[in-house]
Amino acid sequence: MLYHLFEYLNKSLIDFPGSGLFRYLSFRAALATLFALLIAWIFGKYIIRFLQRKQIGEEIRDLGLEGQMAKKGTPTTGGIIILLSILAPVLLFGNLLNVYVQLMIVSTVWMGCIGFLDDYIKVFRKNKDGLHGRFKIIGQVGLGLIVASTMYFCDDVVICERVEKNAPDAQTEVVGGAEQKTIYVSESKTTETTIPFVKENEFDYRWLSPVSGEYSGLVGWIIYALAVVFIIVAVSNGANLTDGMDGLLPGVSIIIGVVLGIFAYLSGNIIYADYLNIMYIPRSGELVVFMAAFIGALIGFLWYNSYPAQVFMGDTGSLSIGAIIAVFAIVVRKELLIPVLCGIFFVESLSVVMQVAYFKYTKRKYGEGRRIFKMTPLHHHFQKKRGDIPALIQRPAQALPEAKIVMRFFIVAILLAVLTVVTLKVR
């Protein structure tokens, strides 16, 4: 809102001191981070007190984990703090006419509502299972269809490719300061994305279409929509599974958010996109403001969620965080980097799938179910004492403190983030 206000003042030739700063993306991103952090920090304590007074806490079952029962009574649904801290700065400092910003706001609110409904059923209806899995999937699929439709049909969603000077569809982009540089680009609507570690690294989902001719476009969009739905479901559920230790999910997500913010800035700047030979996505630079607010909100929430946690984010926060990361990666066309960048989410989800599949297989074959890990998701395997549950993987020899496990996951997330950024040049 402030962005549009100062833009109006500038166009009205009203010389308002400092109004020109709002034209700079870096200035608005810095303000978004600062305001998000302060909102989470200042209002967070009041929200936590309210949740404590109303005794809004999730029941904790004794699973034999070290220090687990000490968390009993800790308030949940703290994801409200995260959502408030993201949306308020974006509404203040973001360009609300930008289709990408609109899409991120819709994604945040959409999955936030689904997550809140799940927490509401757990807390107030005393149903430990929460919202039925099929309804979560329906909500995630619905968001996927919204994202896929917007990316495919909206006229403002295009990519630009460098072309020869004399090409018939060439447009001139003059960039730079004193030293002017001319780049000839061609706008196109496409379902292309980036393949990591490949030199000619553009992949179009329409290439998977089994038909050609009149219906090739429709079939191509269906394939693209299925891919988008799968990514959103996988990442949001992966984030949900990762939210099992104090500070783990917000810390890992901050690292992921920094990398995605870098991608958005580079993809939205024609100079850097040309230099790195990556897709130039007009108007995507505005996403830096959203991601800055996302990072600031998580840092502020981590103030209260770090060990020992004063509040849990619940599904209100975890499902929203996963959806934001997934949709953001899709928008900047880096979704195929998710298995690397979000490697923590991927491994946590994979551990659950492996555990369930192996348990069912051994139960059919031997009459009793056996386990690969002491407990899943994976972070609980390191937290479980040896001998509590028979496991094929017997290390570590003793339970690790929760804070140490979280810190080691952070280190792995940083290594994966560096590897993801390196893919810009390693092809």
Q: Which residues of the chain have pLDDT under 50?
A: 177-179, 387-394, 396
Domain boundaries in the chain? 2-338
> What pLDDT score does 61 carry?
63
Whether pTM exceeds 0.85: yes
The answer to whether residues 283 and 268 touch, using CB atoms and an 8 Å cutoff, is: yes
> What pLDDT score does 103 carry?
97
> What pLDDT score does 390 carry?
47
Q: Which of 333, 369, 319, 375 is nearest to 351 (CA)?
A: 375
Report which residue type is found at 402: E
> What pLDDT score does 63 carry?
62
> What pLDDT score does 173 carry?
56
**How crowded is residue 348: how many other Cβ atoms within 10 Å of its Cβ?**
27
**Cα 79 from Cα 297, distance rounded (Å):** 10
> What pLDDT score does 396 carry?
46
Q: Which two tokens stand for residue 191?
A: 């379902």
Q: Which two tokens stand for residue 162?
A: 């460098």
> What pLDDT score does 348 carry?
96
The answer to whether residues 214 and 354 touch, using CB atoms and an 8 Å cutoff, is: no
> What pLDDT score does 162 carry?
67
**Cα 158 from Cα 77, distance rounded (Å):** 37
Burial category of 282 from C-beta neighbours within 10 Å (exposed 0-12, middle 13-18, buried 19 and up): middle
> What pLDDT score does 11 carry?
72
